[in-house]
Structure 1
Amino acid sequence: MSIKILADSASDLPLDFFKESGVTLFPLGVHLDGDDYLDLATLNPSEVFKRMRNGSAPKTSQVSPHLFKEEFTKLAKEKQSAIYIAFSSELSGTYQTSVMIKAEVQEEFPDFDLTIIDTKCASLGLGLVVKKAVELAAAGATKEEIIAEVRTQVKHMEHIFTVDDLDYLARGGRVTKTAAFVGGLLNIKPILNVEDGKLIPLEKIRGKKKVAKRILEIMEERGTNLSEQTIGISHGDDLEAAEEYKQLFEEKFGCKSVYINMIGASIGSHAGPGTIAIFFLNTNRS
Structure 2
Amino acid sequence: MNTKIMADSACDLSKDHYNEYDIEMVPLTVHLNEKEYKDVKDINPTTIYNAMREGKTPKTSQVPPQTFKSIFTSYAKKNQPLVYIAFSSGLSGTYQTAKMMEMEVKDEYPEAVLHVIDTKCASIGYGLIVLHAAMLAKEGATAEEINEAASYQAAHMEHIFTVDDLEYLLRGGRVSKTAAFVGSLLKIKPILHVEDGKLVPLEKIRGSKKLFPRMLEIMEERGTDLENQTIGISHGDDIERAEALAAMIKERFKPKDVIIEMVGSVIGAHAGPGTIALFFMNNMNK
TM-score by length of 1: 0.95
Q: Residues 261-286 of structure 1: CA distance to partner in whole angstroms, max 9, x if unpaired?
A: 001111110000000000000139xx
Instruction: Name the counterpart of 1:107.
Output: 107
**SS where residue 43 of structure 2 aligns?**
coil
Structure 2 Cα separation of the partners of residues 152 and 136 of structure 1:
14
Corresponding residue of 1:259: 259
Secondary structure of the corresponding residue to residue 85 of structure 2: strand
How far apart are the structure 2 equivalents of 1:188 and 1:247?
A: 24
Q: Secondary structure at the match of 1:199?
A: strand
How far off is 1:177 after superposition? 5.1
Aligned-CA RMSD value: 1.6
Partner of 2:225: 225
Matches within 5 A, 1:24-35: 24-35=24-35
Distance in structure 2 (CA, Å) of the matches to 1:185 and 1:127: 33
Q: Render the CA deviation track for 1:120-151: whole Å, top value 9, x for unaligned.
A: 11111110000000111111222222122111
State the match for 1:20 in structure 2. 20
Post-superposition CA distance 1:151-190 (Å, at most 9, x none):
1111111000000112111212344557645643402111
C-alpha distance in 1 between matches for 2:147 and 2:267: 25
1:97 aligns with 97
For 1:206, the equivalent position in structure 2 comes to 206
Matching residue of 2:6 = 6
Q: Which residue of structure 2 aligns with residue 56 of structure 1?
A: 56
Q: CA deviation at 1:7?
A: 0.5
Alpha-carbon distance between aligned partners in 1 of 2:279 and 2:27, rounded to the nearest angstrom: 22
Q: Specify the SS of the correspondent of 1:274.
A: coil
Aligned partner of 2:86 in structure 1 is 86
Give the unaligned 5+ runs of structure 2. none
Change in 2 beyond 3 A, CA 1:133/1:189:
same
Counterpart contact for 1:45–1:263, Cα < 8 Å:
yes
Is the Cα contact below 8 Å between 2:21 and 2:138 reproduced in 1?
A: no
Instruction: Give, in whole Å, the separation in 2 of the partners of 1:23 and 1:82.
Output: 11
| SS of match in other structure, 1:124 | helix
Distance 2:93 2:170 in 1: 21
Structure 2 CA distance for partners of 1:152 and 1:176, relative to 1, 3 Å:
closer
Aligned to 1:173: 173
Q: Which moved more, 1:1-10 or 1:185-194?
A: 185-194
Q: Is the 8 A contact 2:18 2:25 kept in 1?
A: yes
- Alpha carbons of 1:143 and 1:218: their partners in 2 closer, same or farther (altered >3 Å)? same
Amino acid across the alignment from 2:208? K
Question: Which amino acid in structure 1 is aligned with residue 279 of structure 2?
Answer: F
| Counterpart amino acid of residue 153 in structure 1 | Q
1:80-123 Cα shifts (integer Å, max 9, x gaps): 11101011111111011001111222222221210111111111
Indicate yes or no: 2:143 matched with 1:156: no
Task: Report the equivalent of 1:47.
Answer: 47
Gaps of 5+ in 1: none
- More divergent stretch after superposition (179-188 vs 148-157): 179-188
Question: Share of identical aligned residues, percent?
Answer: 59
Please name the residue that 1:132 is paired with.
132
Residues 209-234 of structure 1 deviation map (CA, whole Å, 9 limit, x = unaligned): 21111101100101122121000001
2:84–2:115 Cα contact (<8 Å) kept: yes
Q: 3-state SS of the aligned residue for 1:186?
A: coil
**Does structure 2 retain, via aligned residues, the 8 Å contact 1:48–1:265?**
yes
- Counterparts of 1:239-258 in structure 2, within 5 Å, are 239-258=239-258
Equivalenced residue count is 284
Structure 2 contact 88–95 (Cα < 8 Å) conserved: yes
Partner residue of 1:70? 70
Q: TM-score, normalised by structure 2?
A: 0.95
The equivalent of 1:121 in structure 2 is 121
| Contact 2:65–2:97 (8 Å) recurs in 1 | yes
Contact 1:15/1:41 (8 A) holds in 2: no
CA contact (8 A) 2:179 2:201 kept: no
DSSP 3-state at the match of 1:30: strand
Distance across 1 between alignment mates of 2:207 and 2:23? 40
Give the Cα separation in 1 of the matches to 2:84 and 2:175. 32
Distance in 2 separating the partners of 1:192 and 1:65 = 31
